[in-house]
Amino acid sequence: MINPATQILTINLEDYFQLTPVSEIVPVSYWSRFERRVERNTEATLDMLDRHGATATFFVSGWIADAAPELVREVIRRGHRVAAKGYFHAFASELGIEEFESDARRAKQALERAGQEEVLGYRAARGGLDPNDHERFAALANAGYAFDSSVRPLGFSTPAPNTAFEVGVGKDRIIELPISAASRLGYTYPVGGGNYLRQLPASLTMPEIKRISNDPAQTLVFYFHVWELDPDMPRVNGISRINRVRQYRNLDAMRERIDTVLGGNTFASAETVLGLKPKSVAAQVVEAKKPEAVKATGEPLSLVVPCHNEAESIPFLDRTLNLLSDQLAGRYKLHYVFVDDASTDNTAQVLEDTFGKHDNVRIVSHAKNRGVAAAIMTGIEAAGTELVASIDCDCSFDPLQIDALLERLRPGVAMVTASPYHRDGHVLNVPAWRLVLSRGVSVIYWFLLNHKFASYTACFRVYRKSALSGITLTHGNYLGVAELLIRLDQAGKQLAEAPATLEARLFGRSKMKILRTITGHLGLIAATAMGRFVPLAKRDAPHAKALEKDRG
């Protein structure tokens, strides 16, 4: 049985995009598109443990085990144990008992498949477990787990046991290793690492950790996350202010705090302390099937991607375009035109490093910043295909929605534009000011134009290149996106819109200047009203000449 005086070290092995604050705006289906940092963070964690001579139990999500099985094997090879942290990082309280047990079994199987070693421990992916929720503990026992470490004592009426205890129903019982906690003024709070060690003042945690570790009647259960050693992790937009504090605050200080705790204690894995010896699991021999090579066949389609200071977005875009290529394989032969609109960060270099070696990619650069619409027009001019799509570098319109646009590009249609305000469209986590501006101008354009659309300002579109012949924009910035639609409308071209989902950008900052854009739209609306009687091409001839001079 457990020796109460022994210190237990547990580590949550997960990536930054799986955490609760980020997962509130990022669906599981997007995980594969993010730059993975879990390998480098786990390697740094393993090196730290080696320096301190500590061994640990790593709680790993089943998704990570399937995505990076070699990482699970490396943890075991370095002398540590692996336990489960759910499969998809869901709140246990949001799952029914059967769903909960199924998720726990799936995670266990994934980890055993990756590590070829029996998995005996479990920790709730989010939110912890209520010690009185005996049904869930019984479900874990029934799924083959021997211990759990999901209880986090917190509150005025919650005790701080700091010792192992049994939980469950009847014969379906397991050992619970609660996160170490302390009590002050009748209030109990966790001190055993993680967010608590990072967020709370050291005066409230460090002395309590030392007190528990020195008390022979208590067991110190300490934990941290591998991403807490990564203060340079990408900052994801769209997270609420309080959640940004929750995820990013004090990351710079966390390595030193963890080092201090590891240096002052002798830690072992939960399995070692509990006297559990995981059995070897026979490797599942799966005959690897070579993926069938998909020929780049189908109708030629160029994707134009305007980029200005988008270095942070490009890794996510790269993985998204790989998925898009698979989605369209056999139907469209893809070509790419990336237009660097005089970026002042390292966008140009990242574009070259990421896409420069592909023979179906062309990278074009503007000598000076001319705006997103000008970049789109440059890309369309550089495209060698009749069918051209423009997409957002930040993926605020998921490029995988392009099928909906292509379906509406029927014979005779010159352009299809995406519309989040369509009755079948959606908007997710977008700032209210942007919605008010976009919806407001769209209502006005609706009255002025022949095509009655729900939205006129989206960059996500599909064009027939020949339909744009002779069109020159007077606005190179965001206004030019609406202007291009207006010119096509007034030229009598047939246009269409497709429902789409607009999301807040995940990386970097929006380049839109609010007041300038509002003022510009007012001027464009006035010009549009005049354009019903005076052809835009004639009225704006001087502007067109100036623009051509700039291009030269």
Q: Could you report the per-residue pLDDT of 339-380, keeping only the tens digit for each? A: 999 999 999 999 999 999 999 999 999 999 999 999 999 999
Phi, psi of 14 (to 5 degrees): -155, 165
Domain-embedded: residue 165: yes
Q: What is the pLDDT of residues 161-179, one digit of tens each?
A: 999 999 998 889 999 999 9
**What pLDDT, on a 0 to 100 scale, did the predictor assign at position 527?**
81
Q: How far is CA 470 from CA 337, 413, 461, 491, 533, in A?
A: 21, 17, 19, 11, 20
**What pLDDT, on a 0 to 100 scale, did the predictor assign at position 425?**
96
| pLDDT class of 393 with cuts at 50, 70, 90 | very high
- Looking at residue 216, the DSSP 8-state letter turns out to be T
Is the same domain home to 397 and 514?
yes
Is the same domain home to 169 and 38?
yes
pLDDT at 116 over 70: yes
Is the same domain home to 328 and 458?
yes
| pLDDT class of 420 with cuts at 50, 70, 90 | very high
Is the same domain home to 199 and 310?
no
Is the same domain home to 104 and 199?
yes
**What pLDDT, on a 0 to 100 scale, did the predictor assign at position 135?**
94
Look at residues 309, 304, 455 and name the one whose alpha carbon lies nearest to residue 376. 304
Beta bridge partners of 174: 167
Average confidence (pLDDT) over 512-540: 66
Average confidence (pLDDT) over 60-80: 97
Q: Read off the tokens for 192.
A: 């055993």
Q: What is the pLDDT of residues 399-408, one digit of tens each?
A: 999 999 999 9
Domain-embedded: residue 35: yes
Domain-embedded: residue 436: no
Q: Which of 162-171, 186-195, 516-525 has the lowest mean pLDDT?
A: 516-525
Decide if 166 contacts 174 (C-beta within 8 A). yes
| CB-side neighbour CA atoms (13 Å) of 513 | 8
Number of domains in the chain: 2
Domain that holds residue 263: 7-274
pLDDT at 547 over 80: no
Domain-embedded: residue 104: yes
Q: Among all chains, which residue has been given the structure tokens 């062309």?
A: 362
Average confidence (pLDDT) over 48-55: 97
| pLDDT class of 513 with cuts at 50, 70, 90 | low
Is the same domain home to 263 and 311?
no
pLDDT at 409 over 50: yes
Domain boundary among 216, 241, 274: 274
| pLDDT class of 212 with cuts at 50, 70, 90 | very high
CATH number at residue 169: 3.20.20.370
**What pLDDT, on a 0 to 100 scale, did the predictor assign at position 307?**
97
pLDDT at 109 over 60: yes
Is the same domain home to 459 and 365?
yes
Is the same domain home to 232 and 345?
no
**What pLDDT, on a 0 to 100 scale, did the predictor assign at position 287?**
53
Decide if 196 contacts 223 (C-beta within 8 A). no
Is the same domain home to 54 and 132?
yes
Is the same domain home to 71 and 174?
yes
Domain-embedded: residue 434: no
Domain boundary among 233, 257, 274: 274
Beta bridge partners of 305: 338
Is the same domain home to 235 and 368?
no
**What pLDDT, on a 0 to 100 scale, did the predictor assign at position 369?**
95
| DSSP H or E segment with residue 365 | strand 361-365
Look at residues 264, 224, 265, 267 and name the one whose alpha carbon lies nearest to residue 55. 267
Rg (CA), the chain: 28
Domain-embedded: residue 70: yes
Residue 241: Cβ within 10 Å count: 7
CATH number at residue 531: 3.90.550.10
Domain-embedded: residue 233: yes
| CB-side neighbour CA atoms (13 Å) of 449 | 31
pLDDT at 208 over 90: yes
**What pLDDT, on a 0 to 100 scale, did the predictor assign at position 541?**
42
Domain boundary among 258, 274, 290: 274
Nearest-angstrom CA–CA distance, 458 and 390: 10
pLDDT: which is higher, 286 or 319? 319
Is the same domain home to 267 and 350?
no
Domain-embedded: residue 433: no
